[in-house]
Amino acid sequence: MGRKEPESYDGITTNQRGVTIAALGADCIPIVFADPVRKACGVAHSGWRGTLLGVAMATVNAMIAEYGCSLEDIIVVLGPSVGPCCFTLPRESAKAFHNLDPGCVRLFGSPNPYVDIRKATRILLEQGGILPQNIQDQNQDLNLCTSCHPDKFFSHVRDGLNFGTQIGFISIRE
């Protein structure tokens, strides 16, 4: 916030009071970041490409560079997303997830293996230095698959082009 808007982006950070920032997701992960010590926050939209490109850690690194945040103070919430029960990629695309951790891919030998973008995101955050206990991805309905739960979530995987979106948002009140 407060800089020239880039042509495209999947994350944003701020330390401005009273400004709400948001990330959308229908099957992609809306990720919310907070540093209660430095009073800074961020959001990111993380699909499978963004996950592999490191959007989550790029957002963390922006908070560190711009606001002096410390890795041990940053709390991350992974919003609802498509689960490994429903999300497939062509084998060639799934290979990068398999290389990150074989546990991120199920039925890797098939033409369209099942991929766990949530697990991959957690692994990348932990590898980047976010404390495991500061990653919230299992509480309440956060770990439910958006595609499997039409009563709770929108899903592009399930509904095709006629889909809505979930929103992860945060602001600093003080």
What is the DSSP track for 50-79?
HHHHTHHHHHHHHHHHHH---GGG-EEEE-
Q: How sure is the predictor about 174, in pLDDT bands with cuts at 50, 70 and 90?
A: low
Average pLDDT value over all residues in the chain? 92
What single DSSP character describes residue 144?
Answer: S
Q: Is 123 helix (H, G, I), strand (E, B) or coil?
A: helix
Range in 51-55, 57-61, 82-86, 166-170 the model is least confident about? 166-170
User: Which pLDDT score is estimated for 139?
Assistant: 73
% the chain with pLDDT above 70: 95
User: Which pLDDT score is estimated for 126?
Assistant: 97
Contact criterion met (CB below 8 Å) for 26 and 165: yes
Q: How sure is the predictor about 119, in pLDDT bands with cuts at 50, 70 and 90?
A: very high
Residue 2 scores a pLDDT above 70: no
Residue 156 scores a pLDDT above 80: yes
Contact criterion met (CB below 8 Å) for 166 and 33: no
Q: Which of 4, 100, 5, 103 is nearest to 54 (CA)?
A: 100
Please, what are the domains in the chain? 11-82+117-168 (3.60.140.10)
What mean pLDDT comes out for the span 160-168?
85
Q: How sure is the predictor about 159, in pLDDT bands with cuts at 50, 70 and 90?
A: confident
Q: Return the beta strands (E) in the chain as ranges.
A: 11-14, 20-25, 29-35, 40-46, 75-78, 105-106, 114-115, 135-136, 166-171
One-letter amino acid at 7 equals E
Residue 140 scores a pLDDT above 70: no
User: Which pLDDT score is estimated for 92?
Assistant: 94
